[in-house]
Amino acid sequence: MEESSQGSFVATINEEYETICWGCGLNLVLPSYAPVFKCGWCGAITNQNPVRVETRNFGLRRFRDRCFVVILAVFMLFVICGGIWAAFPVMFSISLACGIFHSVTAVSLAISTLSTFILVAFKCAGKPIDIVYGTHPGVGSGALNNYTFCPHCSKPKSPRTHHCRTCGMCVLDMDHHCPFIGNCVGAGNHKNFIAFLISAVISTIYASVMCVYTLIHILPPLENQAAYASDIAHANSLSVLGVVKNIMLAYIANALFFSVRGLVLVYLFVASFSVAIGLSILLWQQLSYIYEGKTYLSHLSSQGSEEDGEKSCGNLLTFFGCPLLIERYLPTVRNLRKRHKT
């Protein structure tokens, strides 16, 4: 606003408030400067001050992911090969049927875990759909509603798409970037990731049980069984932990326990059981987000807001591709809450 000689005010238009929408290419005149605005025609969201995060350590992060993938692959091969070497001779010594049964089970779980791991590690996590932008005749009304522009990929980015700095690309329905598979988890491989977790949890639990079962058969009998039987008989006066401690000390005192086969079985049990606990927690977390109709990133962005997704078993059925007719027989938590309030 400028004051003239007669005392009146003359309004002037500042050119910096005129901008172009990246989505449809139309010239927009804003009433005031706005760093972020939404086009009234195509619905695209423009950020005039985008923050471009430095990617100087891109090569280092990719190298870290490759190392994690190699470590995980070596660990799985060690569990498979070590379990076959340490446990299966004992299984076949028990009975031929027992050995065949456990061999078929172990090979099936190994093939399932390794195949799902390869799929989730090397399959595209989810490439966004190419969409026309930048020209008014080609972009219809609301065609880019709530779309943003990715400064890294120089492409439109839908609300369900996130840019991964480690992979250097935008991922549709991105859940998170997992360094242990060296890949993102998104719309393209989310099912494979859940299948890998399920297979890995079952395999590690099976390996833990087999290690304990094999150790029981290869450990020699206790030399002083009468003394420990007396301890167990007087369990009312002795604590259960004390009895277990005495039995463990007796086995450790036996020199045969420290054979190579026994040490490998003990290590396999500790490693498999620990991994099974961690993967079970991760699997439960993933299924909880799917049940809520969210991903991990959308869960983080929705924290602190009143918007709550519809929690339904139908979300799990839709995710795994089950028939939608089953959904009508399953309860919906959101509807149950509304009924309770009324």
Give dist(CA 334, CA 195) in Å, integer.
Answer: 27
Of 21, 42, 178, 211, catalytic? 178
Q: List the alpha helices (DSSP H) in the chain.
A: 58-94, 96-122, 190-218, 225-233, 240-253, 260-291, 296-301, 313-319, 333-341
Closest by Cα among 123, 117, 211, 127 to 161: 127
Give dist(CA 192, CA 170) in Å, integer.
Answer: 19
Q: Taking the CA atoms of 68, 73, 74 and 79 in sequence, report the sign of the dihedral they define.
A: positive
Closest by Cα among 303, 332, 300, 301 to 315: 332
Mark whether 98 is an active-site residue: no
Q: What single string gives the DSSP state of each residue in 31-82?
A: SS--SEEE-TTT--EEESS------TTHHHHHHHHHHHHHHHHHHHHHHHHH
Q: Are the CB atoms for 229 and 221 separated by under 8 Å?
A: no
Give dist(CA 136, CA 144) in Å, integer.
Answer: 12
Give dist(CA 98, CA 181) in Å, integer.
Answer: 34
How open is the CA angle 202-205-211, to the nearest 5 degrees? 135
Give dist(CA 261, CA 160) in Å, integer.
Answer: 51
Contacts of 282 (CB under 8 A, 6+ apart): 197
The catalytic residues are 178
